[in-house]
Amino acid sequence: MSDVSNPSLKQTIEGHFASEGEDAPTWVEIHGLTCALAVGPYGGPEDFNTALESELPEPVLDALVSLRGRLLTGLYNGERTTLPCLLDPYREEDGNDLASWCAGFLAGVFLREEDWYQDHEDTMANWLLPVVLISGVDEDPSLDELWENSAVVRQMATGLPDLLEELVLHFQTADGKDS
């Protein structure tokens, strides 16, 4: 099963946000958010409304919840998640690039940040470093220096699908925290 094996899910989601104007999140950003809500702490469908700062129509919310379930099922079945963008951290495509996916993912992390970092703050900070670095949301000079090492950054980028597997194992399995 592919992450988006049902094209109507993507059409429902994209169609809604296309009508919201140019400031609306792109499919790539929404996919990143949905991945974060699939692999990490999740409080239910309302998390989408909160993260997107909008009261979503029921069909759109249902499509997002279904997409989350498909992503999670795929990860549980050992399938590698395919991101809807190139895994090239230096390619810029205004809303449709890896930085946008990472920014969407971080929106999901920030929604329940305490839960993400609870008990394993250093480990989580290390795991999320590629996402923070590639998203560009942190202006730490040491990250700017790391960004200059393109070989390391590209390696981080190609490891993002594996990171999703690691995170789902951390949050959704042994501790019985399946959501």
Q: What is the pLDDT of residue 86?
A: 96
Orientation angle between helical segments 160-172 and 58-76, nearest 10 degrees: 90
What does the block give as tokens for 11? 């059409």
User: Which residue, 135, 131, 139, is CA-closest to 40?
Assistant: 131
DSSP secondary-structure letter at 120? -
What does the block give as tokens for 75? 């990860």
pLDDT tens-digit readout, 99-136: 999 999 999 999 999 999 998 899 999 999 999 999 99
The ranges of the chain with pLDDT < 70 are 1-5, 174-179
Q: CA 123, CA 133: separation in Å to the nearest integer?
A: 16
Q: CA 5, CA 8: separation in Å to the nearest integer?
A: 9
Q: What is the pLDDT of residue 94?
A: 85
pTM of the model: 0.92
Q: What is the pLDDT of residue 3?
A: 43
